[in-house]
A and B are shown apart, each in its own frame.
Chain A
Amino acid sequence: DAMVIQNPRYQVTQFGKPVTLSCSQTLNHNVMYWYQQKSSQAPKLLFHYYDKDFNNEADTPDNFQSRRPNTSFCFLDIRSPGLGDAAMYLCATSSGGTGADTQYFGPGTRLTVL
């Protein structure tokens, strides 16, 4: 029944070593989002895709990139992780029909940077 799947659940990387996080969905939703959530803070939107259209938030660092090769999959690439990038990374999807559709979240990937 898993609808939004994130892999891996836990990722450990070294300072400056590129890392890729994966998200897949079985909902056939048009919109996919990536959020960063640090401890005891609200999720912060990094970017989202509406179909193949990429929308970057103004304050998302250039260090963060994303790819969406097809409807089901979306990737978050962190080119040179710093200690400040350690966080939970959440993927979410929505149908995109009205713009105010419910966003469904995956279980998250906890990133540790050594």
Chain B
Amino acid sequence: EDQVTQSPEALRLQEGESSSLNCSYTVSGLRGLFWYRQDPGKGPEFLFTLYSAGEEKEKERLKATLTKKESFLHITAPKPEDSATYLCAAIPNDYKLSFGAGTTVTVRA
């Protein structure tokens, strides 16, 4: 069974304190891995797609990386506006998106 696990469940950071979120996956043939940001009461907002191990993508203070077993979302010098739930999702061979439960990040000023 395809499985995506995110850790930690919650992360509290001081403004400027860099950290990483983990997304480990066990899927039958990874076609792609997505990262989304979700604010309370809103739909997920697309951040990155990674397709192969070794790939990296960056956007402002966020950087996503991919290995054969996991993906990391690095947040460099976070600001309070980076507070959100970050979801990762994997697409296996059957093309059905499998989501993790998310990591809720809170950045204090």
Chain A interfacial positions (CB closer than 8 Å to B): 4, 6, 40-43, 45, 88, 90, 92, 99-100, 102-108, 110
6 pairs from A and B in contact (CB 8 Å cutoff): A42-B100, A43-B87, A90-B43, A103-B46, A105-B46, A108-B42
Closest B residue to A43 by CB, please name it. B99
Most buried by B among A40, A43, A92: A43
Binds A, one of B60-68, B70-78, B90-98: B90-98
**CB-CB nearest 6 A-B residue pairs:** A42-B99, A105-B43, A100-B31, A100-B32, A99-B95, A108-B43
Cα of A2 to Cα of B44 in the assembled complex, Å: 14
Closest A residue to B85 by CB, please name it. A40
Q: Knowing A100-B51, A103-B97 touch, does A42 contact B87 (C-beta < 8 A)?
A: yes
- Is B100 touching A90 in the complex (CB atoms < 8 A)? no
Whether a CB of chain A sits under 8 angstroms from the CB of B86 is no
Q: Knowing A100-B95, A102-B34 touch, does A90 contact B44 (C-beta < 8 A)?
A: yes
